[in-house]
Amino acid sequence: MADKIYIFDTTLRDGEQSPGVSLNVHEKLEIAHQLAKMNVDIIEAGFPIASPGDFEAVKAIAKEIKGPTIAALARVNKKDIDRAWEALKYAKKPRIHTFIATSEIHMKYKLRMTREQVLEKIKEGVAYAKQYTDDVEFSPEDGARTDLDFMCQVLETAIDSGATTVNIPDTVGYSTPEEFGNFIKNIKERVPNIDKAIISVHCHNDLGMAVANSLSALKNGARQVECAVNGIGERAGNTALEEIVMAIHTRKDFYDFYTDIKTEEIYRTSRLVQNLTGMSIQANKAIVGKNAFAHESGIHQDGVLKERTTYEIMNPAMIGLVHNNLVLGKHSGRHAFKTRLVELGFNLEEKELDKAFQRFKELADRKKEITDKDLEAIVEDEIKIVPEKYILEHLHISSGNRIVPTATVGIRVDGKLVEEAACGDGPVDAVFKAVEKVTNVKVTLQQYSLNAVTGGKDAIGEVIVKIEYNDKIYTGRGISTDVIEASAKAYVSAINKLYYDQGDQIYQKEGIM
């Protein structure tokens, strides 16, 4: 009989450690709801001691999310563990995930501790966590570079002290599939009490082998995989959830494992994480990339038309990709619009539906053919996660190759229309400057990206911006068939998030209030 593989999602913890990613509590909750819908077994919601924001997010997720176990990270010391529990205690199924480094390099240079001291800390930390909950996971950080004999001692101590899951991280993504699989095999054979715990793995992708290393570990006895949606995480990221899940599913003939993931939710989860983190994935990304199911060569297209499985090892519908190119047009009614959204998995409340329908009508006036991708973009844009202090009402641009670009914007500030104009180095710069004049906040633009949602000259443009204020990054997204308008919307949306996070103090700092 096939063995179950537990999917431990760390998008909100390790994933959020990706450079330039910063999610607010509402965004984390939104992602957590989607992860629960996708049926992950464990959600690692954050590292509560790391910041008040992390603490609040773990607490909110512990209170609100039903279904998965909710985990929080803590070093093996009482202060960290107390803080983790303080946030986690509301969860129906709480897990404390505690860790300390065990490789010679980390112990000598980072911790400045001996092996004996580290073993003592593990004993104390795991036992302390165990007072709060039965479900305790222990991770020896930089595990893949830890001496095997010492690793066996570490794990035996952790399990004796109460750990029910022992997670072996390849923290720096150094291992290779054969080596890592062998490491797990040795652990399974040599740690005397290993049958009292589940072996987990947590691989980083520095050499592009995180998924392969995780699969090799599973073949050798691991039964939990730690992973993140779209493979986000520190540096080159973590094992990609969608890749490991679909590898297990597609190659069950070879692995004889299964997961409880609702694979049809993979595509939407990937989109949500991209939209909220502002980390777009490359077109050829396995499973969820734009080209993952696109066939370019004539021979391949011919083959797929004759029999899909000639060139497709997975059915796109399995990950929730519905193929339906031309769906609605100018004359489609609200009912048809709603029906299609429901088919695409969006269940909007009446008010949201009204707004989305209005956007659809506006778009239908500008764009002849409205596809599922357009509908997705509209709906994702309509779901506002933070309140909107600023709403872009109108803009006017004057630009050309021999004039100074000038922009005028009209923005509703708490409902009141304010207009401003500015010049810039280009039309986008002029718009951003005019927006800044209205909002009175000086931010640094860290990233600007523009993508076409669909093909064709009248395609919707999607702009993602990252702005920095006070050492914090805020991501905004805007869509429109007009790329300048999409840029302005993205900028305003990032400023709304900044305002939501830092409130009126942003004006005091600027000497405005």
Rule CB under 6 A: which residues touch ligand KIV? 14, 99, 139, 141, 167, 169, 171, 202, 204
- Residue 145 CB, shortest distance to ligand KIV, in Å, is 11
For ligand KIV, the closer of residues 8 and 357 by Cβ is: 8
Helix, strand or coil, per DSSP, at residue 227: strand
**CA–CA distance from 145 to each of 55, 101, 172, 176, 494 (Å)?**
31, 10, 9, 12, 41
Task: Enumerate residues 6+ apart whose C-beta is below 8 A from 499.
Answer: 389, 390, 439, 441, 506
The stretch among 11-19, 60-68, 101-109, 324-332 that binds Zn ion (CB under 5 A) is 11-19
Task: Supply 463's token pair.
Answer: 């702009």
135 sits near Zn ion (criterion: CB under 5 A): no
For ligand KIV, the closer of residues 51 and 315 by Cβ is: 51
Q: What does the angle CA 478 – CA 482 – CA 483 come to, to the nearest 5 degrees?
A: 60
Residue 312's φ and ψ, nearest 5 degrees, are -120, 115
CA gap 109, 121 in Å, rounded: 17
Residue 304's φ and ψ, nearest 5 degrees, are -65, -40
For the chain, the straight-line distance linking the first and the last C-alpha, in angstroms and rounded, comes to: 68
Q: Which does 497 bind (CB under 5 to 8 A by kind): ligand KIV, Zn ion, none?
A: none
The stretch among 14-22, 129-137, 286-294, 500-508 that binds Zn ion (CB under 5 A) is 14-22
- Residue 209 CB, shortest distance to Zn ion, in Å, is 15
Q: Which does 141 bind (CB under 5 to 8 A by kind): ligand KIV, Zn ion, none?
A: ligand KIV
- Residue 175 CB, shortest distance to ligand KIV, in Å, is 12
- Residue 7 CB, shortest distance to ligand KIV, in Å, is 15
- Residue 238 CB, shortest distance to ligand KIV, in Å, is 8
242 sits near Zn ion (criterion: CB under 5 A): no
For ligand KIV, the closer of residues 216 and 493 by Cβ is: 216
The stretch among 9-17, 80-88, 123-131, 217-225 that binds Zn ion (CB under 5 A) is 9-17
- Residue 94 CB, shortest distance to Zn ion, in Å, is 21
Interface mask toward Zn ion for 318-357; x: CB under 5 A:
----------------------------------------
For ligand KIV, the closer of residues 229 and 460 by Cβ is: 229
Q: What does the angle CA 184 – CA 189 – CA 194 come to, to the nearest 5 degrees?
A: 80
3-state DSSP helix/strand/coil percent for the chain, to nearest 5? Answer: 45, 20, 35
**Which residues share a beta bridge with 417?**
412
Q: Which does 139 bind (CB under 5 to 8 A by kind): Zn ion, ligand KIV, none?
A: ligand KIV
- State which H helix or E strand residue 224 sits in: strand 224-227
Task: Supply 189's token pair.
Answer: 């054979």
**Which residues share a beta bridge with 140?**
100
**CA–CA distance from 490 to each of 112, 142, 479, 500 (Å)?**
46, 39, 8, 15
14 sits near Zn ion (criterion: CB under 5 A): yes
For Zn ion, the closer of residues 151 and 385 by Cβ is: 151
226 sits near Zn ion (criterion: CB under 5 A): no
Task: Supply 400's token pair.
Answer: 């050309």
The stretch among 8-16, 123-131, 333-341, 500-508 that binds Zn ion (CB under 5 A) is 8-16
Q: How many other β-carbons are positioned within 10 Å of the β-carbon of residue 299?
A: 10
Residues binding Zn ion (CB under 5 A): 14
